[in-house]
Amino acid sequence: MNKLLKVKATWTPIWTVALLMLCMISIYLPVFGGSSQRLTDFLLIIVNEDEGVSSYITGREIVDNLIRKQNGHTFNWRPVANRDAAINEIKNNQAYGALIIPSEYSRDISELRDVLITGKTEGKAVK
């Protein structure tokens, strides 16, 4: 074993692999190591079409919560007036996606809540 370790040809592959790994680390760390993991410039659109007939939870509360608590921390939420404007902005590459709260959201949530609380099994399916 000692004779094998004294041969220069034995150390060449070991030093080559070590040198390649050092090169890979020196390339990887500056590119990925110091990057920020937060998506603050990731623009998403939020459209609230909810009519808000329930006092339990409304689309307005969801929009306010997302904009107040999440804006700038994970995504950049921007409210838009209607679905067509949101789709248009996505097609024009001005935003990455949209969250559209449907017009019957509050009503469906309150019906689902009533079904779950009362234990009725004849509740209608939510779209």
Q: What is the pLDDT of residue 73?
A: 65
Question: What is the mean pLDDT, run by run of 10 residues, along the chain of 127 residues?
Answer: 72 87 84 61 85 70 78 76 92 91 83 78 63
For the chain, which residues make up each domain, given as ranges?
A: 2-33, 43-118
Q: What is the pLDDT of residue 67?
A: 78
Helix locations, the chain, DSSP H: 2-6, 8-28, 59-65, 83-91, 105-118
Q: What is the pLDDT of residue 48?
A: 87
Q: How far apart are CA 90 and CA 125, in angstroms?
A: 30
**What are the angstrom distances between the C-alpha of 20 and each of 11, 13, 16, 17, 29?**
14, 10, 6, 5, 14
Q: What is the DSSP letter of 35?
A: -
Q: What is the pLDDT of residue 90?
A: 92
CA 73 to chain centre: 11
**What are the angstrom distances between the C-alpha of 117 and each of 11, 78, 123?**
73, 35, 11
Check: pTM over 0.75? Answer yes or no: no
Q: What is the pLDDT of residue 26?
A: 84
Q: What is the pLDDT of residue 127?
A: 62
Q: What is the pLDDT of residue 19?
A: 92
